[in-house]
Amino acid sequence: MRVALAERDPLEARLLANAFNDLMARTERATQSLRQFTANASHQLRTPLTIVRVHADVLARDGPATLQGATALADIIAAVESLDHLLAQLIALACMDEQPEGAVQLTSFDLTALAANIVAARVTLPDARRMDVGYETAEPAIHALGDEMLVAEMIGNLLDNAIRYSRPDGAVTVRVLIRRDAPVIEIEDDGPGIAPSDQEKVWDRFYRAPGADAPPGSGLGLAIVRALGERIGARAVLAPGAGGRGTKAIVTFHPVTSHPPTVPQVNLETVPQMTAC
């Protein structure tokens, strides 16, 4: 429902109508977000909850001191961690969906330093220890317009995905460069890659490209990356890796010298920490 007034109507009435229409728009967004959250959550929560229920029965029957009980306990812990990760991603998306349409002043940040710090933090993680995780930059410092916290989440998600979907002894390379006067970050792996027909679909929530050897996940990581990119005016795309092998994620930012774009506002306090899908 909306209130429509003409220019000849009193200014006070038009201001009140605009405020009412804005309230209705926010209410509709919140309602739609809640419906989507409920539908998605009910579908995704089923698997870890089923694992917990089945293995809890095994644990109760055999006890934690037996091999079966110890295995069941480990599976329960893994399912709970997966559930916690999934809930964090769902809440993050719901928070972003409910943000009002507004404008923010994007700030300059050092993309090279930010990417280097994220790579340094990831190379010590268990999944990355056997991989060749490299970092390359064309300039000592490349600055971009955006929000450093949101960009860190984007890069972290993309790097985590590259490490997860690459070969156990594969290579992952993070590059920061300037392309056509715009700051760009590329995250490339030499894993199995993504079929051309799926390269746009994988940005959709809960979509996971088919593959027998694909690691478990919720299909939300790339959806979060794109949603964050839209809020800072950054463009994220996927392309084949070098020689057609693997996948290359490319994020293009606005340069500091450009006119800052108008983007939806994000309340950072409401966005929880996020990791890969």
Q: Does 6 fall in a domain?
A: no
93, 179: one domain: no
**Confidence (pLDDT) at 268:** 43
**Confidence (pLDDT) at 103:** 45
123, 222: one domain: yes
Tokens found for residue 83: 């559930």
Give 30: exposed, middle or buried? Use CB within 10 Å, 0-12, 13-18, 19+. middle
Tokens found for residue 227: 């949603």
What one-character DSSP code corresponds to residue 205? T
Q: Does 4 fall in a domain?
A: no
> What backbone torsions phi and psi does residue 233 show, to the nearest 5 degrees?
75, 20
**Confidence (pLDDT) at 212:** 44
Give, for all 277 residues of the chain, the pLDDT tens digit: 677 777 777 878 878 888 888 888 878 877 776 676 666 666 567 767 887 888 888 888 888 889 888 888 888 887 787 777 677 766 666 666 555 544 456 889 999 999 999 999 888 877 777 888 889 998 889 999 988 888 988 898 899 888 888 887 889 999 999 999 999 999 999 888 887 878 788 877 777 676 546 566 666 778 888 888 888 889 999 988 888 888 999 999 999 875 555 554 445 444 444 444 4
> What backbone torsions phi and psi does residue 235 show, to the nearest 5 degrees?
-115, 125
Buried b (16+ CB within 10 A) or exposed e, 232-267: bbbebebebbeeeebbbbbbbbbbbeeebeebbebe
**Confidence (pLDDT) at 40:** 61
The number of C-alpha atoms within 13 Å of 192 and in the hemisphere containing its C-beta is 13
> Any idea what the CATH number is for the domain that residue 16 is in?
1.10.287
86, 138: one domain: no
**pTM exceeds 0.85:** no
Do 265 and 99 touch, CB atoms closer than 8 A?
yes
Please state, in angstroms and as integers, the Cα–Cα distance from residue 191 to each residue in 10, 84, 131, 201, 202, following that order: 64, 27, 11, 18, 16
**Confidence (pLDDT) at 78:** 78
151, 257: one domain: yes
38, 124: one domain: no
Q: Find how far residue 93's CA is from the centre of its chain.
A: 9
Question: Of 163, 184, 183, 196, which is closest to residue 255 (Cα–Cα)?
Answer: 183
Name the domain boundary from 78, 97, 116.
Answer: 97
**Confidence (pLDDT) at 253:** 94
What range does the domain containing 53 cover? 11-97
Number of domains in the chain: 2
165, 195: one domain: yes
**Confidence (pLDDT) at 266:** 46
**Confidence (pLDDT) at 41:** 64
Do 52 and 80 touch, CB atoms closer than 8 A?
yes
